[in-house]
Structure 1
Amino acid sequence: MEERTLQDLSEVIQSSNINFLFGAGTSTPFLPLLGNIEKLLNEAADETARETQYKEYFNKVMLPNKKVIDNSISTDEYEQTKKSYDDFFLALSEVILQRKSTILSKQVNVFTTNIDVLMETSLERLLIEYNDGFSGKLNPTFSSAHYKKSIQQRSLHFDHVSEIPVFNIIKVHGSLTWQQSDDKIMFARSLNHIDEATSGKTGNGFLEPYKRILVVNPEESKHLESVLNLYYYELLRMYSSELEKENSTLFIVGFSMDDKHIKEITLRAAKANPTLRIFVCCSQSSNEKMYTKLEVTQHPNIQVLTPDSDTEKFTLDCFTNNILKMVVEKKSSKDVEPEK
């Protein structure tokens, strides 16, 4: 990555409200990309064909999270994805903690269409503060009003107060940890509710419990239940609101921008807010396609970032190693006093 681009990114991260948009690419290789499942669901001729695609999504994307919660998995793919998230959150925490500005909040918004539990388990493992929209200990309930809470830490001896980094994990397509109780969303710690939709069931025996899982299905019509529908649009409004704030930055990682709702909101914000900076991370082979999707020539505040190698994918590891860690190193080198 060019030195001038890296310097620009360093200044942006140091001086703006930081937002991320994660897609399925950030949870690979542990969880597969959806590929053409959306196309197959949209073209499904009947409920039987749709059920086949739902089962594939359930078995490949949902069920593996049970083993993550139980800590009963140690495949190479999982260890690689786990390390990617850990490295990202550790590096970004250090960057945010060292930011020069005392005016900016030390909160970071991570919007994602992913429904897995990989980010939450990473942050818990690292003992980093995060907010997933739930409040309460014994029976946590979800509300978008629970976001945006700052956390301050007071030193034991001198009463010094400082704000610590907090990550807001905002799952716009719902989450496997969401479970409906009347008109509320409760926290499903063990994910036992997804056991009801086992792969051994067929027809309504599978579909009825499957449709009670509070996630947005990867299809154009979405098939949102009434409770999920309310929260889905609330979180999309929250995404729009954050991008409309002055001096905001959005990094898009592992996301194809094929979701029409999110793409429209993103482009609308880019046009309406000239202080918004958007950096889209993608491989060189996807560069031209991303330029077209996001109408980059019409939006001077949108920039596409690609790795130096034409064979390298712009993964979460690539973002961490080529941007975050470099920003930390540049900051550290500036802080070193020159020898007299």
Structure 2
Amino acid sequence: MIDQIFFEQGAKNLLEGVTDFEFKIQTIKFKIADLINAKNLNVLMGAGTSSGAIPAMKRMLELLDGKITDKSYVKLWKKLKKNNANLENILGILYSGRFYLEGLNSPRPDINSLIKQIENFIFNEINVNVHSKKDTLELYKTFYYKLAFRNKNQSRLNIFTTNNDLFNETAISELNLNYNNGFSSGVNSTFNPARFTYTFSKKIDTALEKYEPIAEMVYLYKLHGSINWVEEDTDSFFKIKEIKINTRKVPANNVLIYPTPLKQNKSLGSPFADLIREFHDKLLISQNVLIIIGYSFSDEHINNVIYSALAANANLSILIFGDYKENNILSKINDPRIYKVYGETGQKKIHYFDYIVNKLLPDFEINPEKTLMEQFIESLQKEKIKSK
């Protein structure tokens, strides 16, 4: 198979005329290292980062099909599936139907029952034992190992994710990193978006009131909720708590945005509106980079935040891993602030999470500037010799 690797800045092909594979990869790595060294670094992670452990929507539809056997709604399911090959579309139709019938005061039990079974199925597919998915967990750990140890003079790493699973939290904890996900510590862990404004520091001089930011710190924003979030009455203004998930039983009051076209409407409520606002505010800061991995641009409320930030912040650069020309405006416009990396070598997609983590991200503990520069010069010399 012929290697097809693309590295674009706006509409410009940065690898035009380059034939040497190693030189292509080193060119990409060198730019990634440069972007990651920005004062403010944000990462948007989508379902693709957990795809090795959690089925994609297409696969979920296949797995779910054989489980829909209840006579009260099996006919409805078959009709929906015949006209829609996408579980997200099916859920969207069901939610719309339920809303319409509730407005007419004419509920249909079969719709509610079918929605409940689909939601429970999705929840259980997401609620995996992360330690049983060792390969995926190790990828997350390597990802954080390479990005979280930033210079203390730079802002802490911001991770925004649409994933509901617990791979991020588990990987961060096992690396003994500190993280802030908007929840208080203690027995009753409750949500408070004000915590995202906190700076965590350590005292560096016992005689003086002198502090420095904790270096290994990650801010984690779960834009669509988490499988361990529930809504309960608490003393907090925000009625969201974190609980320990250790059963296959779905909490009746779980707080999740299921993958449907209607998620933009649900995202207007708390705590999701607060998380989206944090995403927007972080992208407006100067000297800023947003790296997008495994995100398909199917969430309009998130897309709109990115578009708005690009329109308002001239100092925002975006690096997109993936080819989304069919459904993403950012892949079509000629803006030098937007970089795109995609393609394949052999049987591997270079924009997939495993290749990005293992082959493209620099390791900041081994002086990436020097290492990547040396590799870049070596590849450049090889390319010059080859072209003579």
Q: Give the shorter-chain TM-score range.
A: 0.7 to 0.9
CA shift for structure 1 position 196 = 4.9
Aligned to 1:166: 217
TM-score, with structure 2 as normaliser = 0.69
**Of residues 180, 198, 205 in structure 1, which corresponds to 2:231?**
180
CA shift for structure 1 position 26 = 0.7
Deviations 1:88-147 (A, max 9, x none): 1111123x1xx3x73x22x11111111111111111111111111111312111111111
Instruction: Supply the distance in 1 between the matched residues of 2:324 and 2:269 (Cα, whole angstroms).
Output: 33
**What amino acid is aligned across from residue 201 of structure 2 in structure 1?**
Q
CA shift for structure 1 position 62 = 3.6
Structure number with greater Rg is: 2
Deviations 1:62-104 (A, max 9, x none): 4553634xxxx53xxx11111111111111123x1xx3x73x2
Q: Is the 8 A contact 1:174 1:216 kept in 2?
A: yes
Aligned to 2:105: none
**Residue 59 (1) aligns with residue 99 (2):** no
Structure 2 unpaired stretches of 5+:
1-23, 59-85, 99-107, 375-388
Aligned to 1:139: 188
Residue identity (%): 24
Instruction: Supply the distance in 2 between the matched residues of 1:274 and 1:57 (Cα, whole angstroms).
Output: 41
Instruction: Supply the distance in 2 between the matched residues of 1:177 and 1:151 (Cα, whole angstroms).
Output: 24
Deviations 1:270-325 (A, max 9, x none): 1221110011101xxx35336x4325424331221114527433222222223323
Aligned to 2:68: none
TM-score, with structure 1 as normaliser = 0.78
| 2:226 alignment partner, SS class | coil
CA shift for structure 1 position 192 = 6.2
Q: Which structure 2 residues correspond to residues 1-340 of structure 1 after superposition, within 5 A?
A: 1-35=24-58, 36-44=86-94, 48=110, 51-52=113-114, 55-62=117-124, 65=127, 67-68=129-130, 74=132, 78-94=133-149, 96=150, 99=151, 102=153, 104-105=154-155, 107-154=156-203, 162-163=212-213, 164-182=215-233, 184-191=238-245, 195-196=249-250, 209=252, 212-222=253-263, 229-282=269-322, 286-289=323-326, 292-309=328-345, 311-313=347-349, 314-325=351-362, 328=366, 330-331=368-369, 333=371
CA shift for structure 1 position 184 = 3.1
Instruction: Supply the distance in 1 between the matched residues of 2:266 and 2:325 (Cα, whole angstroms).
Output: 36
Q: 1:155 to 1:249 in 2, by over 3 A?
A: same
Instruction: Supply the distance in 2 between the matched residues of 1:180 and 1:92 (Cα, whole angstroms).
Output: 32
CA shift for structure 1 position 42 = 2.0
Deviations 1:151-195 (A, max 9, x none): 334569999964312111101111122121225334333226972
Instruction: Supply the distance in 1 between the matched residues of 2:311 and 2:295 (Cα, whole angstroms).
Output: 20
**What amino acid is aligned across from residue 333 of structure 1 in structure 2?**
T
Q: Is the 8 A contact 1:287 1:304 kept in 2?
A: no
Indicate the RMSD between aligned Cα atoms, in angstroms: 3.2
Q: 1:262 to 1:310 in 2, by over 3 A?
A: farther
Q: 1:257 to 1:196 in 2, by over 3 A?
A: closer
**What amino acid is aligned across from residue 178 of structure 1 in structure 2?**
W
Q: Is the 8 A contact 1:279 1:304 kept in 2?
A: yes
Instruction: Supply the distance in 1 between the matched residues of 2:300 and 2:363 (Cα, whole angstroms).
Output: 33
Instruction: Supply the distance in 2 between the matched residues of 1:310 and 1:146 (Cα, whole angstroms).
Output: 45
Structure 1 unpaired stretches of 5+:
198-208
Instruction: Supply the distance in 2 between the matched residues of 1:194 and 1:179 (Cα, whole angstroms).
Output: 15
CA shift for structure 1 position 335 = 11
Q: Is the 8 A contact 1:31 1:61 kept in 2?
A: no
Q: Is the 8 A contact 1:12 1:249 kept in 2?
A: yes
Instruction: Supply the distance in 2 between the matched residues of 1:136 and 1:184 (Cα, whole angstroms).
Output: 15
- Count of aligned residue pairs for this structure pair: 305
Higher RCO (CA 8 Å, separation ≥ 6 residues): 2
Deviations 1:247-292 (A, max 9, x none): 110011011001011111111211221110011101xxx35336x4
| 1:43 alignment partner, SS class | helix
CA shift for structure 1 position 14 = 1.4
